[in-house]
Structures are given as structure tokens and as C-alpha cells.
Chain A
């Protein structure tokens, strides 16, 4: 069964601090995909990144970076030099790639509320 755990319910930082959001997943599939979504106070869900299980290269996009480690089943998200606009709920999600069964399904963690204070 798929499972995603975001152990940090809430994080509060001061602007310009770096912050890492943790994501730990469980899956029996050898091929799977991991996602991060952002939900700002306005409520919409914004797709940030998708990684597949065969690509463990870290990814950087501006102030955002992602660290994928299969050995620890983790897909952590770091924001460097945080800004007030980064304040949001961040969701990690997992999708299995099998051709039958649950390949339709995206399993979400419960989210981490990040508050960046000026």
C-alpha cells in the first residue's frame, strides 16, 4: 500500500532563513513518481515538481531544491532564503506506475504549513 508521511505539521521561520520540508514514502512498486504541490492561502493547488524513481539526481529551481534518496525513502524539499510569499501548505504525493491496480491514484501526505515571518 502507498503511504506518504509529512511529520512536520507546521514550521515557522523568519524571512531569509533556509527551511527543509520532510517527506517519507512507502511503496511496494519499483517504479513510482513523487510530487510536491504548494497550496497558498488563496487555496489553489499548484504543481511544483515530479520525480521518477529511477532518477535520484537532486533538482534545483531557483530558491527551491529537492533531495531524493531511495535508500531512506525520502523526498525532501528545501527553500533557500525563504520569503513571505513562500508561506503556504506544502503537500508531498506519491503515484505508483504499475499498469494495473492503483496506477490512477495519487496518495498525499497531510501537508506541512510553512509560515515565513517578515
Chain B
């Protein structure tokens, strides 16, 4: 039981390049999330999904796209990376239901855009 895993752990991109971050969970959770963490800012929600085939925007969605083709996977894409997207990205998942369920986080991906 691996919980939430993220691939890759580290990545360096040049401005304008594209990439996809993969999040996988083996807990059969319906809800999945992508956050970014920047110094002094806490965690901010980028996009989330309440089930397979559904996605929605969070607080800071610009410059990112997501897809949830399979229940266990949630992909985050950067089509044209910018230095402002240098950050640590966390994926999380939780059970469906009212807001009381705990979100469990992956180990994070450190992305640097030059």
C-alpha cells in the first residue's frame, strides 16, 4: 500500500517547455488535488477532481491543465512553463463525502523553471 505517489521527484525545465506531473493513489479515493507550495505562502490549490472524468479549478489554475482519466491517477500539465511556476507541487487525495475527511499527501515534486 503505497498511498499517494508522485512522479517525478525533481525536474528542471527551460522557459516554454512542457511537462506532465503524475499523481497516483491506491486508496480508492474519489477526490484528488494538486497544490503548489511557495515560500511564505502555504499551500495553494491549483485544480481538483471529485471523480474520474471530472476536474475543476482551484485558487491558482492559470498556466496549468489537469486530467483524471482513471480514478487512481491525476495528471498536472504545464503547456509552456514560466519561471513563476518554479515551486514544489503536492498531490493529495481523500474519500468522498463532507469536508471532514483527511487529505493524504504525496511526497512532492520540486520543479525549477529556468
Residues of A within 8 A of B (CB): 9, 31-33, 35, 37, 43-45, 47, 50, 52, 91, 95-99, 102-106, 108-111
Contacts and interface: CB of A to CB of B under 8 A. Distances in A.
Interface stretch (B18-26, B60-68, B78-86, B101-109): B101-109
B98 A44 contact: no
Nearest to A51: B100
A27 B40 CA distance: 22
A3 B90 CA distance: 20
Nearest to B48: A104
Interface of B: 31, 33, 40-43, 45, 48, 50, 58, 88, 90, 92, 98-100, 102-105, 107-108, 110
Q: Is the interface of A mostly helix, strand, loop or mixed?
A: loop
A98 B102 contact: no
Nearest to B9: A43
